[in-house]
Structure 1
Amino acid sequence: MINSPRVCVQVQSMYIETQSQPESDRYVFAYTITLRNLGRHPVQLIGRYWLITNANGQETEVQGEGVVGEKPRILPGGEFQYTSGAVLETPLGTMQGHYDMVDDQGQGFHVAIPVFRLAIPSLIN
């Protein structure tokens, strides 16, 4: 597989206070990902890989098919957006990874997911 700039990834994360239990070291975060196809041909997301790191340096790897039960096909100029979540044992952490994609000719490529922060609001400033 090759890396490709054909797909733009935007991430927005937020702390879910109502589902978190800080006294039990349970911090729940949601993240919304928007994928935009900047190329001239349709692409399909077929898999994902995440590296989740908490503030203690503990790493968790997650990989699997598609995202949120889908393998979206994104047309040129189109986008796909989804929201998912992560649970950490610390109030601060990071996520990063890549998507496995394929074009209509069957050529596979990776789309990098840049590192982004998961943090409770009081730690952001």
Structure 2
Amino acid sequence: MSELTQAITVAVEPEYRDDESSPQENRYVFSYTMTVHNDAEQSLQLLSRYWKITQGHGKVQEVRGNGVVGKQPVIAAGESFRYTSRAVLECPVGVMQGSYTCIDPATQETFEVAIAPFRLAGPNQVH
């Protein structure tokens, strides 16, 4: 199934949410917009997600769940699915990485799509 895995691209746009954050309470909110593009010749369904969130002070949190934003979208060949979600950290810097578990509806074969690490950083953070 590696051909199908290679045909899926994931792009991320992280953003610090100053309006929802409260540094004096160690609350740093980030939104991240994910775009999952299916360049394969068949559709796929995104079943679940896994996130590993590493905060700047070393705390690691793992999150697993069905679908994304309450959906298990079917992404047709050549199409994309885009959604925005949030992460709340205790410090102004962190890194997220993970994977999506998908299924080929035609064969019922599941496969993983890796999500490369991306940085979450509040204002004036250079690390």
Q: Give me the TM-score of the superposition, normalised by structure 1.
A: 0.95
Aligned AA (1:118): L
Give structure 1 regions of 4+ aligned residues with deviation exceeding 4 angstroms: none
- Aligned-pair distance for 1:59? 0.3
SS of aligned partner of 2:37: strand
Q: Counterpart of 2:115?
A: 113
Aligned AA (2:83): Y
Structure 2 residue 72 is matched with structure 1 residue 71: yes
Structure 2 distance, partners of 1:87, 1:14, is 12
Give aligned-pair identity as a percent.
45
Structure 2 residue 50 is matched with structure 1 residue 34: no
Structure 1, residues 74-119: CA drift from partner, whole Å, max 9, x if none?
A: 0010000000000000000000000000002101000000000000
SS of aligned partner of 2:19: helix
How many residue pairs align between the two structures? 125
Structure 2 distance, partners of 1:24, 1:121, is 16
- Aligned-pair distance for 1:121? 2.6
Structure 1, residues 6-41: CA drift from partner, whole Å, max 9, x if none?
A: 210000000000110101110000000000001000
Q: Counterpart of 2:59?
A: 58
Unaligned regions of 5+ residues in structure 2, if any?
none
Q: Give me the TM-score of the superposition, normalised by structure 2.
A: 0.94
Structure 1 distance, partners of 2:9, 2:118, is 15
Q: Counterpart of 2:19?
A: 18
SS of aligned partner of 2:42: coil
Structure 1 distance, partners of 2:90, 2:34, is 22
Unaligned regions of 5+ residues in structure 1, if any?
none
